[in-house]
Amino acid sequence: MNHQTKGLPKTQVYGFVLSLVLTFAALFIALKTSISFTAIMWIIGTLAILQAGLQLFMFMHLTEGEDSPAQTINVIYGIFIAIVTIGGSIWVMSFGM
């Protein structure tokens, strides 16, 4: 199917603006608040996860192709790889192993 339409791609623009809002919210929390470092890290991490989900749905067309389970499996695999990479990096930086 050809889904080309004339005009502005409203969904992508909305997703881009929302991504910018989440990014600037994290920046504001990191630089302009006086809450504890741990709370700042949790808030920024939560905003990062929200932004990743937003980009999956707005830009990577996660909801398209619902008939095939391959897309869902690929997303789950990608999340697994991200968790292993982040967890391994934290482990190495913390314990030097």
Residue pLDDT, tens place only, 41-97: 999 999 999 998 888 888 777 667 666 777 778 888 988 999 999 999 999 999 886
Using one digit for the tens of pLDDT, what is the confidence trace for 8-42? 788 888 989 999 999 999 999 999 999 999 999 99
Do 12 and 53 fall within a single domain?
yes
Q: How far is CA 68 from CA 40, 48, 62, 71, 73, in A?
A: 39, 28, 11, 6, 9
Do 57 and 93 fall within a single domain?
no
Do 13 and 36 fall within a single domain?
yes
Do 70 and 58 fall within a single domain?
no
Question: What is the model's pTM?
Answer: 0.68
Looking at the domain assignment, is residue 3 inside a domain? Answer: no
Residue 87 domain boundaries = 66-97
Helix (H) or strand (E) holding 59: none
Looking at the domain assignment, is residue 2 inside a domain? Answer: no
Do 23 and 47 fall within a single domain?
yes
